[in-house]
Amino acid sequence: MRALLIEDDTILGAAVRDQIAAEGHSVDWVTRLDAARDHIGSAAYDLLLLDLMLPDGRGLGLLRDLRAKGNVTPVIILTAMDQLSDRIEGLNAGADDYLVKPFDLSELSARLNAVARRYAGNPNPLVHIGDLEIDLAARSILRAGRTIDLTAREWALFEAFVQRPGQILSRAQLEERLYSFGAEVESNATEVHVSRLRKKLGHGIVETVRGVGYRLGRAA
C-alpha cells in the first residue's frame, strides 16, 4: 500500500512515517498543501493522512477538492484535541476516519489496516503458514475452519515470527517486543510463552535454534 502523509510537525511526521513503513507500506511525506497537491496529481495513493493545520492553509480545502473531483482515496485526518468543529467538518467533507493528537502508534496502525482493508474491498490479507490461516489485522488464526485463540503475549510472539519468516529471532529481540521498554526479564518467561504457543499451534510451527533463538519452522 502506498500512503501520502501531509503533516508539518517534523517530530510527529517522522514517527508516523516510520510506523507506516514498519508495517510494510511505502510512504511519501510532505509538509505543505501545494506539495501534497503535486504528489497526488502525479502518483496514485491508496491512503492519505492529512493534518488540518498546515503552513499554507487548512487541509479541509484539499479534501473537499479531491472529493469534488470524484477522488475516493481513503483519508484519515490528524487533528488536535480542541478542534472539534474541524473533525466534524472533516468527516462531512468525506474523510474516512480521524485520529486525535496525541495518538498511540498502535492506534494509528489499527486505523491504517482498517482503512486499507475497507478500500481494498478484500475480505482480508491472509498469511498461510503450514495449515494455519492467519489474519494479522483481525488477530485471528484458523486451522481447518476452527479458530485458535491466543493471549496478548502469545500473539505478540507469534506476530513477530510471522512478520519475519525464516529469520532467527533471539530471546532479546523477542523480549524487546513483548515488554515495551527497559523491563528486564530474568526468568524463562519467554520460553514458557513459546511452549504455550506450541501447545496451541502444534509443534511444527516454532522451531528452536539452540544457543541462538527461535524461528518459524519449515512447515511453512
Partner DNA sequence: GGCTTCCTGACGGCGACCTGAAGGCCCGCC
Partner DNA sequence: GGCGGGCCTTCAGGTCGCCGTCAGGAAGCC
Under the rule (CB under 8 A), what is the footprint of a copy of itself? 81, 84-85, 87, 92, 97, 100, 104, 107, 110-111, 114, 124, 135, 137-140, 147, 151-152, 164, 166-168, 170, 172-173, 176, 180-182, 209-212, 215, 218
Is residue 151 close enough to count as binding DNA by CB under 7 A?
yes
Distance CA 51, CA 57 (A): 11
The x, y and z cell numbers of residue 132, run together, are 494455519
Q: Answer yes or no whether residue 30 interacts with DNA by CB under 7 A.
A: no
Our CB check for DNA shows the closer of 4 and 169 to be: 169
Residue whose cell numbers read 516510520:
18
**Residue 188 identity (one-letter amino acid):** N
Among 10, 122, 167, 195, binds DNA (CB under 7 A): 195
Task: Kindly write down the DSSP assignment for every residue of 50-68, as one continuous string.
Answer: EESEETTEEHHHHHHHHHH
Among 26-34, 43-51, 97-105, 197-205, which window interacts with DNA (CB under 7 A)?
197-205
List the x/- string, 38-77, binding to DNA by CB under 7 A: ----------------------xx--xx------------
Cis peptide before 102 (omega within 30 of 0): yes
Contacts 24+ apart (CB under 8 A), 83-92: 83/52, 83/53, 86/52, 86/58, 86/60, 89/60, 90/52, 90/60, 90/63
Query: Given the rule CB under 7 A, which residues bind DNA?
Result: 60-61, 64-65, 89, 149, 151-154, 171, 178-179, 185-189, 191-195, 198-199, 203, 208, 210-213
